[in-house]
Amino acid sequence: MTRKNVTVIGLGAMGSALANALLAKDLKVTVWNRNKAKAALLAHKGALVAENVKAAVEASAFVVICVSDYKAAAKIFSEAGKELLHGRTLVQLSTGTPKEARDFDAWARQQGANCLNGDILAWPRQIGTADATITFSGNNEIFKQFETELNALAGVISYLGEEPGASAVLFSAVLAYLAGNWIGFCHGALICEKEGMRPDAFGELIYNISPILATESKHMGHVIQHNKFTDPESTINTTGLDLHLLVQQSKEAGISDELPKFAAHIFQRAIDAGYGGEEHAAIIKVMRGAG
């Protein structure tokens, strides 16, 4: 049986992980990176190292690109030349906004290429394992045609539909969640440090209650989708008071109060708007009118 050809462009930590996952499935992998030193380890594992972008694209009908962002990807593909892109499938795994994903899809079609825009919800060490999730949006027929290659990259490959920006929409939403999570965790760790407790014990506690947090996220998505914020187990009023106490604790401990002040302000706005008796997710009502 003939080995399928796949090209991977971009060999940072994530791009290298993608190439390794494809090699592990016995695919014929061609790689390219501006810094050729990053390709050396992959070459030892059997990857073919292209001399330039044109050679990399020419080597395969299925081209995965994973670089810093869509702007960098567009620059790289412009170097390949329009004639080489015709008939090829470009799997865009660089980070971008929904608009950039739609624009890239339109540009690819103008070149006669097919396009799948994807977003990786995993760390490089998880690529190719059951722990990794990658979402995709774009042409359904193309997704099905290359599903075997895509399945080599992650345990969960989620197709979100034909709209090119759909994957980036969810990725942006996840990034918003993670940004709040990372900042919140670091503020919690700062509290522990100042009060003489161990941040790693705090991390262990969050790990232990993570199933509760996951259930809460699913619940919030449901109530926001259906605008049903009544019958709460805890109200905006209660949490608003707690957050004002968190601001007080920050001042007493002499630590940054940026996060608690920000959170308390949003909850106070919801209270002032008359939503105090509703559940936490109802703060979206005041957030919808912001900006």
- pLDDT tens-digit series, residues 210-256: 999 999 999 999 999 999 999 898 999 999 999 999 999 999 999 99
Q: Who wins on pLDDT, 249 or 84?
A: 249
Q: pLDDT tens for residues 43-52? A: 999 999 999 9
Residues 44 and 92 in one domain: yes
On average, the pLDDT of the chain sits at 95
**CATH number where 246 lies:** 1.10.1040.10
Structure tokens at 222: 């449901």
Q: Is 74 within 8 Å of 107 (Cβ atoms)?
A: yes
Look-up: residue for tokens 């690819």?
108
Q: What is the CATH number of the domain that holds 94?
A: 3.40.50.720
pLDDT at 65 exceeding the cut of 90: yes
Q: At 78, is the pLDDT very low, low, confident or very high (cuts 50, 70, 90)?
A: confident
- Where do we find the tokens 């695919």? 27
Kindly state whether residues 214 and 254 are assigned to the same domain: yes
Q: Is 39 helix (H, G, I), strand (E, B) or coil?
A: helix
Report whether pLDDT(266) > 90: yes
Confidence of residue 113 (pLDDT cuts 50, 70, 90): very high
Beta strand 133-138 with 114-121 is: antiparallel
Q: What is the pTM of this model?
A: 0.92
Q: Which of 120, 142, 161 is at the close of a domain?
A: 161
